[in-house]
């Protein structure tokens, strides 16, 4: 088995995928208050889902759309976020994987403070989008 992995690595094959869990620091300094309203409007919509051709725009190539906050939240909780466990949440694992085939967003690193906001939101139990869905300002 290790020989196959070594051969694939030497041949330049892409990695299998992200690890299930990583170690994260929750006492970091967030860029903004870690609420879903802020996570959605400051990071997810602007970085991952608003520009034409973005992976998670309405017509993007990603498996989920970030065009609507309520739908985005439901999609995140459908296997991409484990409330209360940022280290085992796919969104945290993939945003901390610079240079890997499974990095989100592709080819771009989130700043440490911005990723910290995501981590702290997940660690707090990933509370929902009520402020965004009701039209309240983040």
Residue 61 resides in a domain? yes
CB 89 within 8 A of CB 82: yes
Q: What does the buried/exposed string (b/e) look like for 77-93 if buried means 16 or more CB atoms within 10 Å of the residue's CB? A: eeebbbbeebbbbbbbb
Residue 138 resides in a domain? no
The pLDDT tens digits of the residues spanning 5-31 come to 434 444 444 456 778 899 999 999 999
pLDDT given for residue 8 in this prediction = 41
Domain assignment present for 52: yes
pLDDT digits (tens, 9 = 90+) for 83-121: 999 999 999 998 888 777 888 877 778 899 999 999 999
With contact defined as beta carbons under 8 Å apart, do 54 and 48 qualify? Answer: yes
12 falls within a domain: no
Is residue 52 pLDDT above 50, yes or no? Answer: no
Domain that includes residue 128, residue range: 19-133
- What domain count does the chain have? 1
The answer as to whether 1 is a domain residue is no
Distance CA 123, CA 138 (A): 19
* Average pLDDT of the chain, as a whole number: 77
Indicate the Cα dihedral angle 102, 105, 110, 114, nearest 10°: -110
Q: What is the CA radius of gyration of the chain?
A: 16
Residue 114 CB neighbour total at 10 angstroms: 18
Instruction: Name which residue leads in pLDDT, 126 or 55.
Output: 126
Report the share of the chain in percent with pLDDT over 90: 38
pTM: 0.75
């Amino acid at each position: 088995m290790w020989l196959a992995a070594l051969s694939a690595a030497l041949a330049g094959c892409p990695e299998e995928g992200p690890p299930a869990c990583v170690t994260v620091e929750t006492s970091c300094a967030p860029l903004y208050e870690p609420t879903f309203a802020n996570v959605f409007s400051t990071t997810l919509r602007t970085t991952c889902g608003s520009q034409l051709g973005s992976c998670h725009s309405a017509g993007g190539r990603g498996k989920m759309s970030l065009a609507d906050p309520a739908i985005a939240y439901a999609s995140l909780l459908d296997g991409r976020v484990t409330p209360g466990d940022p280290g085992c949440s796919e969104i945290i694992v993939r945003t901390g994987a610079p240079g890997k085939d499974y990095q989100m967003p592709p080819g771009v690193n989130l700043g440490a403070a911005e990723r910290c906001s995501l981590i702290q939101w997940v660690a707090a139990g990933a509370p929902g989008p009520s402020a965004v869905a009701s039209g309240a300002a983040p």
